Amino acid sequence: MQDVDWYWVWIPATILAAAAQTARNTMQRHLTATLGTTGATHVRFLYGVPFALVFLAVAAVVAGRPPPVPDGEALAWIATGALAQVLATGAMLAAMKTQSFALAVAYTKTEPVQVALFGAVALAEPTSPAGVAAILLATAGVIAMSGNPWRAGAVDWRATALGLLSGGLFAISAVAYRGGILKLGEPVFWFAALTALACALALQAGLLSLWLVATDRPALRRVFAAWRPSLFAGAMGACASAFWFTAFSLASAAAVRTLALVEVLFSYAVGRGVLRQKVAAHEVAGLVLVVAGVALLLLSA
Protein backbone atom coordinates (compact mmCIF):
# COMPACT_ATOMS: atom_id res chain seq x y z
CA MET A 1 0.00 0.00 0.00
CA GLN A 2 2.90 2.37 0.74
CA ASP A 3 4.06 2.29 -2.90
CA VAL A 4 6.92 4.78 -3.16
CA ASP A 5 5.80 5.76 -6.68
CA TRP A 6 2.45 6.98 -5.33
CA TYR A 7 3.38 8.22 -1.85
CA TRP A 8 3.43 11.86 -2.97
CA VAL A 9 -0.30 11.68 -3.86
CA TRP A 10 -1.20 12.22 -0.20
CA ILE A 11 -0.16 15.89 -0.51
CA PRO A 12 -2.55 17.00 -3.31
CA ALA A 13 -5.22 14.66 -1.89
CA THR A 14 -5.08 16.44 1.47
CA ILE A 15 -5.16 19.90 -0.12
CA LEU A 16 -8.13 18.95 -2.30
CA ALA A 17 -9.87 17.46 0.75
CA ALA A 18 -9.44 20.73 2.65
CA ALA A 19 -10.84 22.72 -0.29
CA ALA A 20 -13.87 20.42 -0.70
CA GLN A 21 -14.45 20.53 3.05
CA THR A 22 -14.53 24.34 2.93
CA ALA A 23 -17.27 24.16 0.27
CA ARG A 24 -19.20 21.58 2.29
CA ASN A 25 -18.98 23.66 5.47
CA THR A 26 -20.33 26.68 3.62
CA MET A 27 -23.40 24.76 2.49
CA GLN A 28 -23.88 23.20 5.92
CA ARG A 29 -23.89 26.64 7.55
CA HIS A 30 -26.62 27.65 5.09
CA LEU A 31 -28.68 24.56 5.91
CA THR A 32 -28.37 25.06 9.68
CA ALA A 33 -31.00 27.83 9.54
CA THR A 34 -33.67 25.41 8.33
CA LEU A 35 -32.48 22.01 9.56
CA GLY A 36 -30.85 22.85 12.88
CA THR A 37 -27.35 21.83 13.91
CA THR A 38 -27.95 18.08 14.13
CA GLY A 39 -29.96 18.00 10.92
CA ALA A 40 -27.34 19.96 8.98
CA THR A 41 -24.63 17.67 10.35
CA HIS A 42 -26.62 14.60 9.30
CA VAL A 43 -26.76 15.90 5.72
CA ARG A 44 -23.03 15.32 5.19
CA PHE A 45 -23.43 11.65 6.07
CA LEU A 46 -26.86 10.75 4.71
CA TYR A 47 -26.47 12.45 1.34
CA GLY A 48 -22.82 11.49 1.14
CA VAL A 49 -23.57 7.74 1.13
CA PRO A 50 -24.93 7.57 -2.46
CA PHE A 51 -21.88 9.40 -3.80
CA ALA A 52 -19.52 7.17 -1.80
CA LEU A 53 -21.24 4.09 -3.25
CA VAL A 54 -20.89 5.49 -6.78
CA PHE A 55 -17.20 6.18 -6.17
CA LEU A 56 -16.75 2.60 -4.95
CA ALA A 57 -18.67 1.15 -7.92
CA VAL A 58 -16.49 3.08 -10.36
CA ALA A 59 -13.39 1.91 -8.50
CA ALA A 60 -14.56 -1.70 -8.77
CA VAL A 61 -15.08 -1.33 -12.52
CA VAL A 62 -11.62 0.21 -12.95
CA ALA A 63 -10.02 -2.50 -10.78
CA GLY A 64 -11.97 -5.22 -12.60
CA ARG A 65 -12.99 -6.94 -9.37
CA PRO A 66 -15.32 -6.42 -6.37
CA PRO A 67 -14.14 -4.32 -3.43
CA PRO A 68 -12.43 -6.03 -0.50
CA VAL A 69 -14.72 -7.29 2.23
CA PRO A 70 -13.69 -5.89 5.65
CA ASP A 71 -13.03 -8.55 8.27
CA GLY A 72 -13.98 -8.04 11.90
CA GLU A 73 -10.76 -6.23 12.77
CA ALA A 74 -10.90 -3.79 9.85
CA LEU A 75 -14.58 -3.10 10.48
CA ALA A 76 -13.87 -2.43 14.16
CA TRP A 77 -11.25 0.18 13.24
CA ILE A 78 -13.56 1.85 10.72
CA ALA A 79 -16.52 1.81 13.12
CA THR A 80 -14.36 3.34 15.84
CA GLY A 81 -13.36 6.13 13.47
CA ALA A 82 -16.96 6.72 12.38
CA LEU A 83 -18.30 6.88 15.94
CA ALA A 84 -15.42 9.06 17.17
CA GLN A 85 -16.03 11.52 14.33
CA VAL A 86 -19.71 11.88 15.19
CA LEU A 87 -18.96 12.35 18.91
CA ALA A 88 -16.15 14.79 18.10
CA THR A 89 -18.55 16.93 16.07
CA GLY A 90 -21.00 16.99 18.99
CA ALA A 91 -18.26 17.94 21.46
CA MET A 92 -17.04 20.68 19.14
CA LEU A 93 -20.53 22.17 18.78
CA ALA A 94 -20.99 22.03 22.56
CA ALA A 95 -17.59 23.69 23.06
CA MET A 96 -18.50 26.51 20.71
CA LYS A 97 -21.65 27.22 22.73
CA THR A 98 -19.66 27.99 25.89
CA GLN A 99 -18.89 31.55 26.93
CA SER A 100 -15.18 31.01 26.26
CA PHE A 101 -15.63 30.41 22.54
CA ALA A 102 -12.07 31.34 21.54
CA LEU A 103 -10.60 29.13 24.27
CA ALA A 104 -12.71 26.17 23.18
CA VAL A 105 -11.75 26.58 19.53
CA ALA A 106 -8.06 26.89 20.45
CA TYR A 107 -8.13 23.55 22.25
CA THR A 108 -9.96 21.78 19.42
CA LYS A 109 -7.00 22.74 17.22
CA THR A 110 -4.68 20.54 19.29
CA GLU A 111 -5.92 17.66 17.11
CA PRO A 112 -2.65 17.25 15.10
CA VAL A 113 -0.65 16.95 18.33
CA GLN A 114 -3.04 14.32 19.68
CA VAL A 115 -3.05 12.50 16.33
CA ALA A 116 0.74 12.17 16.52
CA LEU A 117 0.48 10.71 20.04
CA PHE A 118 -2.36 8.29 19.23
CA GLY A 119 -0.76 7.24 15.95
CA ALA A 120 2.51 6.40 17.68
CA VAL A 121 0.69 4.26 20.27
CA ALA A 122 -2.06 2.61 18.20
CA LEU A 123 -0.30 2.16 14.85
CA ALA A 124 3.38 2.25 15.87
CA GLU A 125 3.94 5.25 13.59
CA PRO A 126 6.23 7.62 15.50
CA THR A 127 6.67 11.14 14.14
CA SER A 128 10.16 12.35 13.23
CA PRO A 129 11.68 15.30 15.13
CA ALA A 130 11.13 17.52 12.07
CA GLY A 131 7.53 16.31 11.90
CA VAL A 132 6.99 17.12 15.57
CA ALA A 133 8.38 20.62 15.04
CA ALA A 134 6.10 21.10 12.02
CA ILE A 135 3.04 19.99 14.00
CA LEU A 136 3.84 22.33 16.89
CA LEU A 137 4.51 25.29 14.58
CA ALA A 138 1.31 24.85 12.58
CA THR A 139 -0.81 24.23 15.70
CA ALA A 140 0.65 27.30 17.41
CA GLY A 141 -0.19 29.30 14.31
CA VAL A 142 -3.84 28.23 14.32
CA ILE A 143 -4.15 29.03 18.02
CA ALA A 144 -2.48 32.43 17.46
CA MET A 145 -5.06 33.28 14.81
CA SER A 146 -7.80 32.99 17.43
CA GLY A 147 -6.11 35.78 19.40
CA ASN A 148 -5.23 35.28 23.06
CA PRO A 149 -7.97 32.91 24.27
CA TRP A 150 -6.67 33.15 27.84
CA ARG A 151 -6.85 36.95 28.08
CA ALA A 152 -10.22 36.93 29.86
CA GLY A 153 -8.62 35.80 33.11
CA ALA A 154 -9.57 32.55 34.81
CA VAL A 155 -9.62 29.48 32.59
CA ASP A 156 -13.06 28.18 31.66
CA TRP A 157 -12.57 24.51 32.50
CA ARG A 158 -15.77 23.45 30.71
CA ALA A 159 -14.60 25.03 27.46
CA THR A 160 -11.14 23.56 27.98
CA ALA A 161 -12.47 20.06 28.62
CA LEU A 162 -14.86 20.13 25.66
CA GLY A 163 -12.22 21.57 23.33
CA LEU A 164 -9.64 18.95 24.29
CA LEU A 165 -12.26 16.20 24.08
CA SER A 166 -13.28 17.30 20.60
CA GLY A 167 -9.68 17.47 19.39
CA GLY A 168 -8.96 14.09 20.97
CA LEU A 169 -11.97 12.42 19.38
CA PHE A 170 -11.12 13.84 15.96
CA ALA A 171 -7.59 12.53 16.47
CA ILE A 172 -8.88 9.06 17.38
CA SER A 173 -11.11 9.16 14.30
CA ALA A 174 -8.20 9.98 11.96
CA VAL A 175 -5.95 7.28 13.45
CA ALA A 176 -8.76 4.69 13.43
CA TYR A 177 -9.61 5.41 9.79
CA ARG A 178 -5.97 4.91 8.78
CA GLY A 179 -5.89 1.72 10.85
CA GLY A 180 -9.03 0.43 9.16
CA ILE A 181 -7.67 1.17 5.69
CA LEU A 182 -4.43 -0.64 6.46
CA LYS A 183 -6.25 -3.62 8.00
CA LEU A 184 -8.26 -4.13 4.80
CA GLY A 185 -5.11 -5.59 3.27
CA GLU A 186 -5.98 -4.14 -0.13
CA PRO A 187 -2.81 -3.44 -2.19
CA VAL A 188 -4.45 -0.74 -4.34
CA PHE A 189 -4.50 2.32 -2.07
CA TRP A 190 -7.42 4.13 -3.68
CA PHE A 191 -9.56 0.97 -3.68
CA ALA A 192 -8.92 0.48 0.04
CA ALA A 193 -9.67 4.15 0.75
CA LEU A 194 -13.00 4.16 -1.10
CA THR A 195 -14.06 0.87 0.50
CA ALA A 196 -13.41 2.24 3.99
CA LEU A 197 -15.20 5.49 3.08
CA ALA A 198 -18.38 3.71 1.98
CA CYS A 199 -18.42 1.65 5.18
CA ALA A 200 -17.83 4.68 7.41
CA LEU A 201 -20.48 6.92 5.82
CA ALA A 202 -23.06 4.11 5.86
CA LEU A 203 -22.42 3.53 9.57
CA GLN A 204 -22.63 7.25 10.36
CA ALA A 205 -25.78 7.79 8.31
CA GLY A 206 -27.46 4.85 10.02
CA LEU A 207 -26.36 5.94 13.48
CA LEU A 208 -27.55 9.53 13.15
CA SER A 209 -30.80 8.46 11.48
CA LEU A 210 -31.59 6.22 14.45
CA TRP A 211 -30.67 9.05 16.83
CA LEU A 212 -33.03 11.49 15.10
CA VAL A 213 -35.81 8.90 14.97
CA ALA A 214 -35.50 8.54 18.73
CA THR A 215 -34.99 12.20 19.64
CA ASP A 216 -36.14 14.55 16.87
CA ARG A 217 -38.28 13.07 14.11
CA PRO A 218 -39.35 16.48 12.72
CA ALA A 219 -35.68 17.29 12.10
CA LEU A 220 -35.26 14.03 10.17
CA ARG A 221 -38.32 14.87 8.05
CA ARG A 222 -36.83 18.30 7.31
CA VAL A 223 -33.58 16.62 6.23
CA PHE A 224 -35.48 14.49 3.69
CA ALA A 225 -37.58 17.45 2.54
CA ALA A 226 -34.47 19.54 1.87
CA TRP A 227 -32.91 16.94 -0.42
CA ARG A 228 -32.18 19.33 -3.29
CA PRO A 229 -29.79 21.71 -1.48
CA SER A 230 -28.52 18.85 0.66
CA LEU A 231 -27.23 16.95 -2.36
CA PHE A 232 -24.46 19.49 -2.92
CA ALA A 233 -23.37 19.31 0.71
CA GLY A 234 -23.43 15.52 0.50
CA ALA A 235 -21.44 15.49 -2.73
CA MET A 236 -18.80 17.86 -1.36
CA GLY A 237 -18.67 15.91 1.88
CA ALA A 238 -18.17 12.63 0.04
CA CYS A 239 -15.49 14.17 -2.19
CA ALA A 240 -13.68 15.64 0.80
CA SER A 241 -13.82 12.33 2.65
CA ALA A 242 -12.64 10.42 -0.44
CA PHE A 243 -9.56 12.62 -0.58
CA TRP A 244 -9.03 12.36 3.21
CA PHE A 245 -9.19 8.57 3.08
CA THR A 246 -6.88 8.48 0.07
CA ALA A 247 -4.35 10.53 1.99
CA PHE A 248 -4.74 8.27 5.06
CA SER A 249 -4.03 5.24 2.86
CA LEU A 250 -0.61 6.63 1.94
CA ALA A 251 0.70 8.77 4.80
CA SER A 252 0.50 8.85 8.58
CA ALA A 253 -2.57 10.43 10.13
CA ALA A 254 -0.33 13.00 11.85
CA ALA A 255 1.12 14.22 8.56
CA VAL A 256 -2.30 14.38 6.89
CA ARG A 257 -4.03 16.25 9.72
CA THR A 258 -1.17 18.73 10.02
CA LEU A 259 -1.21 19.55 6.31
CA ALA A 260 -5.01 19.79 6.63
CA LEU A 261 -4.48 23.05 8.52
CA VAL A 262 -4.13 24.70 5.09
CA GLU A 263 -7.91 24.92 5.36
CA VAL A 264 -7.47 27.97 7.58
CA LEU A 265 -5.39 29.56 4.81
CA PHE A 266 -8.25 29.00 2.38
CA SER A 267 -10.69 30.56 4.85
CA TYR A 268 -8.55 33.64 5.34
CA ALA A 269 -7.95 33.97 1.61
CA VAL A 270 -11.71 33.97 1.05
CA GLY A 271 -12.24 36.46 3.88
CA ARG A 272 -9.54 38.78 2.59
CA GLY A 273 -10.05 38.49 -1.16
CA VAL A 274 -13.79 37.92 -1.50
CA LEU A 275 -15.29 39.44 1.64
CA ARG A 276 -12.69 42.23 1.93
CA GLN A 277 -12.20 41.56 5.62
CA LYS A 278 -9.25 43.12 7.43
CA VAL A 279 -6.60 40.81 8.88
CA ALA A 280 -5.29 41.62 12.37
CA ALA A 281 -1.62 41.48 13.34
CA HIS A 282 -2.03 38.30 15.42
CA GLU A 283 -3.77 36.66 12.45
CA VAL A 284 -0.84 37.51 10.18
CA ALA A 285 1.57 36.05 12.75
CA GLY A 286 -0.54 32.92 12.98
CA LEU A 287 -0.65 32.54 9.21
CA VAL A 288 3.15 32.80 9.05
CA LEU A 289 3.48 30.03 11.65
CA VAL A 290 1.02 27.80 9.82
CA VAL A 291 2.85 28.29 6.52
CA ALA A 292 6.20 27.61 8.23
CA GLY A 293 4.85 24.45 9.85
CA VAL A 294 3.33 23.16 6.60
CA ALA A 295 6.54 23.94 4.69
CA LEU A 296 8.64 22.09 7.26
CA LEU A 297 6.22 19.14 7.13
CA LEU A 298 6.50 18.89 3.34
CA LEU A 299 10.29 19.21 3.41
CA SER A 300 10.52 16.40 5.97
CA ALA A 301 7.99 14.13 4.21
The 10s digit of each residue's pLDDT in 89-116 is: 878 777 766 666 566 666 777 888 889 9
In a domain, residue 147? The reply is no
Q: Is the pLDDT of residue 222 over 80?
A: yes
Whether pLDDT at 2 is above 50:
no
Give, in degrees to the nearest 5, the angle at Cα 65 between 62 and 70. Answer: 115
pTM, rounded to two decimals: 0.87
pLDDT for 191 equals 96
Report if residue 295 sits inside a domain.
no
- Highest average pLDDT, of 70-74, 222-226, 266-270, comes from 70-74
Segment 122-128 mean pLDDT? 90
Q: Which pLDDT score is estimated for 113?
A: 87
246-265 mean pLDDT: 89
Domain that holds residue 182: 12-129+152-252
- Tens-place pLDDT, residues 159-177: 778 888 988 999 999 999 9
In-domain check, residue 144: no
Contact 208, 45 (CB under 8 A): yes
268 within a domain of the structure (yes/no): no
Q: What is the pLDDT of residue 187?
A: 92
Cα 39 to chain center, whole Å? 18
State the total domains in the chain. Answer: 1
Decide: helix, strand or coil at residue 254.
Answer: helix
Q: Find the range with the poorest average confidence among 82-86, 151-155, 191-195.
A: 151-155
Contacts of 23-27 with C-beta under 8 Å, sequence gap 24+, read: 23/236, 24/233, 24/236, 24/237, 24/240, 27/229, 27/232, 27/233, 27/236
Which residues, in sequence order, are CB contacts of 287 under 8 Å at separation 6+?
141, 145, 264, 265, 268, 279
Helix and strand totals (H; E) in the chain = 13, 0
For residue 256, the model assigns a pLDDT of 93
Q: Cα separations (Å) of 249 from 151, 208, 214, 228, 244? A: 41, 26, 35, 32, 9
Percentage of the chain lying above the pLDDT 70 cut: 84
Please check whether residue 96 lies inside any domain of the structure: yes
Q: Is residue 97 part of a domain?
A: yes
